[in-house]
Amino acid sequence: MINYSLEPQAKKVDALVIPFFEDIKPDVIANQLNQVFEGLVNQVVELEDFQGKKGQSALLYTQVEFTPRVFLVGLGKEKSLTVRDWKQAIGTATIAMQEKKSESISIVIPKQLIKSFDFNIKKLGYETVLAIEIANYSFDTYKDKEAHVKPLKDVMFVGDFETTEKKLFQKGAEEGKQTAQGVNLARMLGNTPPSIMTPALIAKNAKEIAKENNKTKVTVFEKADMEKMGMGCLLGVAKGSVLDPKFIVIEYNNTTKKTKPTVLVGKGVTFDTGGLSLKPGEFMTDMKFDMLGAATVLGIMKAATNLGLKNHIVGIIPSCENAVSGEAYRPDDILTAMNGKTVEVKNTDAEGRLILADALSYVAKHYKDAKEVIDFATLTGACIVALGNERSGLFSPEENIVNKLTISAKNSGEQLWHLPIGSEYSEAVKSLTADIKNVGGVGGPRYAGASTAAAFLQYFTLDHKSGEAIYPWAHIDLSCSYYNGAGHPWIRHGANGFGVQTLIGYIRS
């Protein structure tokens, strides 16, 4: 746990962080510190070794008693600074100083940000602490203890705060800390090795969230329950594994009157071999991340309960493993979903949409009065091909939901991109032998894979007698939910917790 405090001036720490804008002069505090360092900072700037450009940084060593290190981090031009830019700068500084074994750091908060309308002082505290907590996290449970990242213990913010500003910043900082616990829970769940992160362990984590909050309850449906409910798609995908599937419902209601719930649905495939449509070897790596939809939902629930949001939120998680065995479901099988619709299996590697079909059907039966239903899934490689791994795809016929989610993502420093659904995609997943098939292309078998997958999901949100939507629905294809390789300077490799911050902002708005 990091201890946070606000200080009028720099105190003794392992490192001092000074963020710089590219196009404006340093503020009063930075200038005062430069004098203490006998012009060391100015010298670096004058040599143009550091110009404050976005992504730039410089580490200086000093002879002063209160800190041996000064870390300069660039913010770019003041007018173009975004929440995402600020969080990346703060995260970069946090990780860089952790790597120098620092346990305590001071961060100078530029006066321009304290007075910034775009941030407002509470939001500044919130986003700054979120960035620090996310950067501070490292999944090194299975490494030698000597190789563990040393976590920060103390972070001091130095700035020209008025009394009211100080209180608002501190309130925002505390809320940022609570939200970050949800983000980092999602990351921890996603990073855990797949032999350990089973459907049963996802259910256990849901129960642990409920134990911490008396406004929350959890129901875990077992295989026999799913058979009674007619969840043929989820059971079909689970057939090849020795692990029993779980269907998890976690409900948080902190309202005083009957309120329509926001329902969040998360794909929880704990490992995806592709089934009998076996993935090539190079695509099998990282398939432990195929449950990040479930992890996102649990991260949101954790953050919402921590913050005590005055909302009614339901999390639905269908969870299983897509394995290979003599019992595994096969291409050309026809499965029957909970709503009675039949699905022709053209590819067993398109399994996420199958288990979500039963989840969305469950919502239609038990929460058809939902305010909105938003599902999260690492659903298609096609979305990553289209957008890369810095944006996730957003699909919905509901313009209001699309606008609100997009704005919330931007305000939190995350990125969503609205992709199309429509009749051509719905036509592409019609089957000759069943009501619908689990893969289809527009103009070719491999074309528009993300949109046809979304169209498949949309099918299970409709009343097929009237053709109308049962509830307002949106689908987020998590194409940017983890980083392989070394990660980024501001966040380490592995699951990144994408979506938790966006949805907390969305729900609060």
Report how far apart the first and last C-alpha atoms of the chain are (Å, whole number): 29
Backbone phi, psi, residue 18, to 5°: -125, 110
For 308-365, the three-class secondary structure string (H helix, E strand, C coil) is CCCCEEEEEEEEEEECCCCCCCCCCCEEECCCCCEEECCCCCCCHHHHHHHHHHHHHH
Q: Answer yes or no: 492 catalytic.
A: no
Angle between helices 292-307 and 199-211 (to 10 degrees): 10
Tell me how far apart the alpha carbons of residues 85 and 74 are, in angstroms, rounded to a whole number.
Answer: 9
In Å, how far from its chain's centre is CA 206?
A: 17
Tell me how far apart the alpha carbons of residues 423 and 438 are, in angstroms, rounded to a whole number.
Answer: 16
- In this structure, the number of other CB atoms found within 10 A of the CB of residue 95 comes to 21
Closest listed residue to residue 301, CA positions, set 213, 230, 418, 386: 213
Q: Is residue 37 within 8 Å of 64, Cβ to Cβ?
A: yes
Contacts (Cβ under 8 Å, ≥6 apart) of 431: 343, 344, 437
Kindly compute the dihedral angle of the four CA atoms of residues 479, 480, 483, 484, in this order, to the nearest 10 degrees. 20
Q: Answer yes or no: 365 catalytic.
A: no
- Active-site residue among 111, 167, 279, 371? 279
Strand partners, 61: 69
- Active-site residue among 353, 391, 437, 492? 353
* 424-457 residues labelled b (16+ CB within 10 A) or e (exposed): ebbebbebeebbbbbbbbbeeeeebbbbbbbbbb
What is the residue-wise DSSP string for 55-70?
T-EEEEE---SS-SEE
Pairing status of strand 334-336 against strand 342-344: antiparallel
The DSSP output letter for 464 is T
Contacts (Cβ under 8 Å, ≥6 apart) of 147: 140
In Å, how far from its chain's centre is CA 365?
A: 28
For residue 12, give the amino acid letter. Answer: K
Q: Which residues are catalytic?
A: 279, 353
